[in-house]
Structure 1
């Protein structure tokens, strides 16, 4: 049985810091390696070419939420599936 590794972090950050974290994720997906580090915890992930994407956005009263989840297997040769998707800033 494979060893289970987990990483978790929660904090309050400003908009600029979140942008920097998201850019680091983009860079990691492009390079094929993402390392998460916090308070002695570390995990290395190696995203491949085929990932499953799940995005949820909610607005209720004055609260807003975006949940982004990405899934992949270490060895994945499956063909892509799903519908067209877009995110815009306008």
Structure 2
């Protein structure tokens, strides 16, 4: 089993900083390469083809939440195309 590798960053930001972050992500998608870094860690992603996009919004008494998840298959990903069996 292959272990997942992760880059994770969490910090408090104001609305202007979030807008700049989202703009930078948009530019990365336009170029076909996203680069994330902090404290010496650097992560590169190469989005290609169709991307799976999920937006979730929720609210409770104390907090609002917006989640944006975007995923895609690696270009060199090989799939086993065996026969599908359902019982």
Asked if Structure 1 and Structure 2 have the same fold, meaning a TM-score greater than 0.5 normalized by the shorter chain, the answer is yes
Cα distance in 2 for partners of 1:47, 1:60 equals 33
What RMSD in Å do the two structures reach over aligned CA positions?
Answer: 1.9
Cα distance in 1 for partners of 2:41, 2:5 equals 10
* Corresponding residue SS for 1:66: strand
2:51 paired with 1:47: no
**Number of residue equivalences:** 76
Runs of 5+ consecutive residues of structure 2 not aligned to the other structure: 77-87
Quick one: higher RCO (CA 8 Å, sep 6+), 1 or 2?
1
Runs of 5+ consecutive residues of structure 1 not aligned to the other structure: 77-90
1:25-64 map, 5 Å:
25-64=25-64
* Structure 1 runs (4+) greater than 2 angstroms displaced: 1-5
- Normalised by the length of structure 1, the TM-score is 0.76
